[in-house]
């Protein structure tokens, strides 16, 4: 390709943006001598709860742990079914199995989001909870989903790993369902290296999550070892070890302060891509509803492969050859051996996600991209379409 020669360096699919604030905050924490869950984690929880307008926030070591604790707190166990979209990451389904329950996979629309109508049709007397995923940072149709869940007695645990800062109407994602779970993995919209957050407006659920995040011990380590606290504690349930360290929280506090600024830049990149692909019908851009704020964790293009002479995989190879990092979100869960073999899913059982899988490419949307990078990526995609138009 002609554009190849223009570029000397490669553009990574993702790169976190960490500044002196994060570095200084970690150094200060190391010097303080308090490394694990303590004052920094508490502060991060308070700031995060405020940011997403939730009453309670519990900092944990990953979003996978957050989801695990959330489903445990609402009582998911053996014999239960949990509804979740097939187009998601491993975590959303595996935690259901860890608790002895059965994941029931739901297909998605061309907006990549779980089809709420199909979700409703798959409710059975065993269905205990639903785990919607705000794919790419675009909130699901929460009004309809919460209404159905309310009518049918289901608990709603939101997988908001992509959804900081996202809004549904004028409400931030974080206080809509029973419990919401966020990720601070290295490639998420803000990071603590590894980390996660549970948010809820239900004090009892918050207590249960906090208890189970620390061995089911009735007092957390901070109180246990601080001067005011008692040495006495009791184990009340077989809990987990899912707490967040103060080292991670020190990074999180600084990243959270930058979250809206980060979002503004990602939204700007998204609108540049939208404009660049508008004249190219072969490249369908991610839809965004007017009543939501998309967090823009991902920018996923959908190729109209019937209009092209190359496949999605070949398209990816060409982008990578041009120095552009890409990803695919996701191979749908029902197409993985685990779900095929254990639950008997065939690819055609959830045909829309299977079809989408052959068309989608996630292109870079992150804070290290320059305007030139964005222009180069868009020009390369459009150039490939011109070259391989049927």
Ligand X SMILES: *Cc1c(COP(=O)(O)O)cnc(C)c1O
Which residue ranges make up the site for ligand X (CB under 6 A)? 62-64, 88-89, 91-92, 133, 159, 161-162, 183, 185, 196
Left, alpha or beta for 361 (phi > 0: left; psi -120 to 50: alpha)?
beta
Q: How far is the CB of 1 from ligand X (least distance, A)?
A: 31
Instruction: Give the residue with the Cβ less far from ligand X, 88 or 245.
Output: 88
Q: How far is the CB of 12 from ligand X (least distance, A)?
A: 17
Q: How far is the CB of 179 from ligand X (least distance, A)?
A: 14
- Sort 351 into a burial class: Cβ within 10 Å, 0-12 / 13-18 / 19+: exposed
CA distance 113 to 119: 11
Active site residue 42: no
Write out the chain in H/E/C secondary structure: CCHHHHCCCCECCCCCCCCHHHHHHHHHHHHHCCCCCCHHHHHHHHHHHHHCCCCEEEEECCHHHHHHHHHHHCCCCCCCEEEEECCCCHHHHHHHHHCCCEEEEECECCCCCECHHHHHHCCCCCEEEECCECHHHCCCCHHHHHHHHHHHCCEEEEECCCCCCCEECCEECCCCCCEEEEECCCCCCCCCCCCEEEEECCHHHHHHHHHHHECCECCCHHHHHCCCCCCCCCECCCCCECECCHHHHHHHHHHHHHHHHHHHHHHHHHHHHHHHHCCCCCEECCCCCCCEECCCCCEEEEECHHHECCCHHHHHHHHHHCCECCECCCCCHHHCHHHHHHHCCCHHHCHHHHHHHCCEEEECCCCCCCHHHHHHHHHHHHHHHHHCEC
Instruction: Give the residue with the Cβ less far from ligand X, 140 or 161.
Output: 161
- Pairing assessment for the beta strands 171-172 and 179-183 based on DSSP bridges: unpaired
Q: How far is the CB of 161 from ligand X (least distance, A)?
A: 3
Instruction: Give the residue with the Cβ less far from ligand X, 322 or 356.
Output: 356
Q: How far is the CB of 371 from ligand X (least distance, A)?
A: 27
The active-site residue out of 40, 42, 128, 188 is: 188
Instruction: Give the residue with the Cβ less far from ligand X, 89 or 262.
Output: 89
Instruction: Give the residue with the Cβ less far from ligand X, 37 or 91.
Output: 91
Instruction: Give the residue with the Cβ less far from ligand X, 98 or 224.
Output: 98
Beta-carbon contacts of 151 under 8 Å, excluding residues fewer than 6 positions away, are: none
Instruction: Give the residue with the Cβ less far from ligand X, 195 or 323.
Output: 195
Q: How far is the CB of 89 from ligand X (least distance, A)?
A: 4
Q: How far is the CB of 212 from ligand X (least distance, A)?
A: 16
Beta-carbon contacts of 254 under 8 Å, excluding residues fewer than 6 positions away, are: 19, 21, 22, 25
Instruction: Give the residue with the Cβ less far from ligand X, 131 or 316.
Output: 131
Q: How far is the CB of 90 from ligand X (least distance, A)?
A: 8
CA distance 245 to 180: 20
Q: Could you list the active site residues?
A: 188
């Amino acid at each position: 390709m002609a554009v190849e020669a223009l570029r000397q360096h490669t553009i990574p699919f993702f790169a976190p943006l960490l500044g002196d604030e994060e570095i200084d905050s970690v150094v200060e924490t190391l010097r303080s001598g308090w490394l694990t869950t303590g004052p920094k984690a508490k502060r991060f929880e308070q700031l995060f709860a405020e940011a997403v307008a939730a009453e309670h926030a519990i900092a944990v070591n990953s979003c996978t742990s957050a989801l695990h604790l959330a489903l445990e707190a609402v009582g998911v166990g053996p014999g239960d079914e949990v509804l979740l979209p097939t187009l998601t990451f491993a975590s959303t389904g595996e935690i259901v199995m860890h608790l002895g329950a059965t994941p029931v996979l739901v297909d998605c629309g061309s907006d990549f989001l779980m089809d709420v109508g199909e979700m409703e049709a798959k409710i059975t007397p065993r269905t205990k909870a639903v785990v919607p995923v705000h794919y790419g940072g675009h909130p699901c149709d929460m009004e309809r989903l919460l209404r159905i869940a309310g009518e049918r007695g289901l608990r709603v645990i939101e997988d908001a790993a992509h959804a900081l800062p996202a809004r549904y109407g004028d409400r931030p994602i974080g206080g809509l369902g029973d419990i919401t779970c966020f990720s601070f993995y290295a490639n998420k919209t803000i990071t603590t290296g590894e980390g996660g957050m549970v948010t809820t407006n239900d004090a009892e659920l918050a207590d249960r999550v906090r208890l189970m995040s620390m061995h089911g011990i009735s007092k957390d380590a901070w109180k246990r070892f601080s001067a005011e606290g008692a040495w006495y504690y009791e184990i009340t349930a077989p809990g987990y070890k899912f707490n967040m360290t103060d080292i991670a929280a020190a990074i999180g506090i600084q990243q959270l302060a930058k979250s809206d600024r980060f979002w503004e830049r990602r939204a700007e990149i998204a609108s540049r891509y939208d404009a660049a692909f508008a004249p190219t019908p072969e490249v369908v851009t991610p839809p965004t509803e007017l009543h939501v704020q998309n967090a823009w964790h991902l920018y996923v293009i959908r190729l109209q492969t019937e209009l092209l002479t190359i496949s999605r995989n070949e398209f990816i190879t060409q982008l990578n050859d041009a120095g552009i990092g890409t990803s695919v979100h996701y191979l749908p869960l029902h197409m993985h051996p685990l779900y095929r073999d254990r639950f008997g899913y065939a690819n055609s059982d959830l045909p829309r996600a299977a079809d989408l899988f052959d068309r989608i490419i996630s292109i870079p949307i992150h804070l290290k991209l320059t305007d030139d990078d964005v222009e180069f990526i868009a020009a390369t995609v459009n150039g490939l379409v011109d070259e391989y138009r049927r």
